[in-house]
Amino acid sequence: MKQFIRKADIILFAVLVVIGLAASAALSLSHSAAGGDAKVVIESGGDLYATYPLSEDRVIIVPAPKQNKTDAPSVSSDEPASAQYDYYNVVTVSGGAVSVTEASCKNQICVKHGSISAAGESIVCLPNRLVVRIEAGQKGGGYDSVTS
């Protein structure tokens, strides 16, 4: 009969758990409170899309890089985003927190992610290649940048 668990398995398990714990500890340290002039950075398709101050409430419709509709979208804030674009995310900044409130994608992971408010946190939508993150401001006392 084959052994289910050997000594090497337990060592490997311990090593993997330690790496995981170390990574989560390192990441939780890199999260810092957002300062007064923290920025909301939105990236679409790997490029910078827009930057807004975290302190101002607003709703941003971010079209994804890929679109089916050939006609130019009618840019009107009255219309819902789904009427303007095939692929999009709606990012809402409200009361110092950022959330993705609407997304065209099937899995809705970015919407379920909830809101973020600390510098270094991010929301990612893989189908639309969107990254929303918070960067600490100059006076915020946070890190200048976060390397992972």
Q: Are 125 and 89 in contact (CB under 8 A)?
A: yes
Nearest distance in Å: CB 132, other proteins: 10
Q: Is 80 in the site for other proteins (CB under 8 A)?
A: no
Near other proteins by CB under 8 A: residue from 38, 62, 131, 136: 131
Q: Is 12 helix (H, G, I), strand (E, B) or coil?
A: helix
- Return the residues of window 29-68 that contact other proteins according to CB under 8 A: 43, 46
Q: Are 119 and 104 in contact (CB under 8 A)?
A: no
Q: Is 101 exposed, middle or buried (0-12, 13-18, 19+ CB in 10 A)?
A: middle
Which spans of this chain sit near other proteins (rule: CB under 8 A)?
1-6, 8-9, 12-13, 16-17, 19-21, 23-24, 27, 43, 46, 106-107, 109, 112, 121-122, 124, 126-127, 129, 131, 133, 146-148
